[in-house]
Every structure is written in structure tokens, then in C-alpha cells.
Amino acid sequence: MDEETFCRCLLLALATKRRSMLASGESFHSAFRSMLQLALGQPSVSLLAEKMLEDFDPVFSVSPAADAMVLRGLRDRILAMRLGSETRVEFLVGPAQAGQELRRATPFAGVFKLLAKHLLGQMKLDSEEPRG
């Protein structure tokens, strides 16, 4: 699996759980890094997670892969940027469609749902209500 597929699958898994989410700042990058550490224990994505963790910038506490995921989501029309004082993205796909696309994209849909749940659980500053 390549990084682009990983990011797309993670976004689809997130879309099954949220209407929108924070997509920048310390909380987002810290949660993304924590999610990658969990992914190390998942054989289907562990090598890619290790590579993405190696790219973490300790000086600025950011993960280039997290920013790249948001940009890919915007490009692929999975996300839309919401204007405001914080960078928030809105999912353009509903939970049912996201679930179907996730299952078509990978045989590891369950892994990505686990990673999405972990990432969202780590984002303490994100007050968006979950989907249904």
C-alpha cells in the first residue's frame, strides 16, 4: 500500500465517523502521530506507518503526511475547507458512501476504522459532534 492509498482510506474511515474535524495545529498533528504509532502494530500498514513516523518534524511538531492527507482530501473532493479562525475540513461524502468506498479501496477497512477512531479520540480540542 502506498501513502496516497493510506491517506484516502483513512479519510474515508474518518468520514464514517464525523461531519467535520480540525485539520491543523498541535492537537491534529499529535493525534495523527499517535494514530501512526498504533498503526505500527497493524501488519497491513506497519511499514508505511514507520516511514511516515520517520518524517515527523520534531522541531515544529508536525507530520508532513498529515498535511499531505488533507491536501489529497481536498484534491479528491473528499474534503472541503471551512472558513473560520481555525482550519477545519468538512467531509463531502456521507458515512454510507464513505463506508462503501473504503470497503472497495482496501481489504483492511477494519484497520482504517480503528485508526480513525484512535485519531479522533486523541483530538481533545475538536468539539465537532460525531455522526449518528
Average pLDDT over residues 73-99: 90
Q: Note the pLDDT of residue 128.
A: 57
CA gap 124, 28 in Å, rounded: 9
For 127, other C-beta atoms within 10 Å of its C-beta total: 7
Average pLDDT over residues 80-102: 89
- Write the class of the CATH domain 3-122: mainly alpha
Q: Which amino acid is at 21?
A: M
Q: How confident is the model at residue 117 (pLDDT cuts 50, 70, 90)?
A: very high
Average pLDDT over residues 47-61: 92
Q: Which amino acid is at 18?
A: R
pLDDT at 83 over 90: no
Q: How confident is the model at residue 96 (pLDDT cuts 50, 70, 90)?
A: very high
Instruction: Tell which wins on pLDDT, 103 or 60.
Output: 103
Q: Note the pLDDT of residue 59.
A: 87
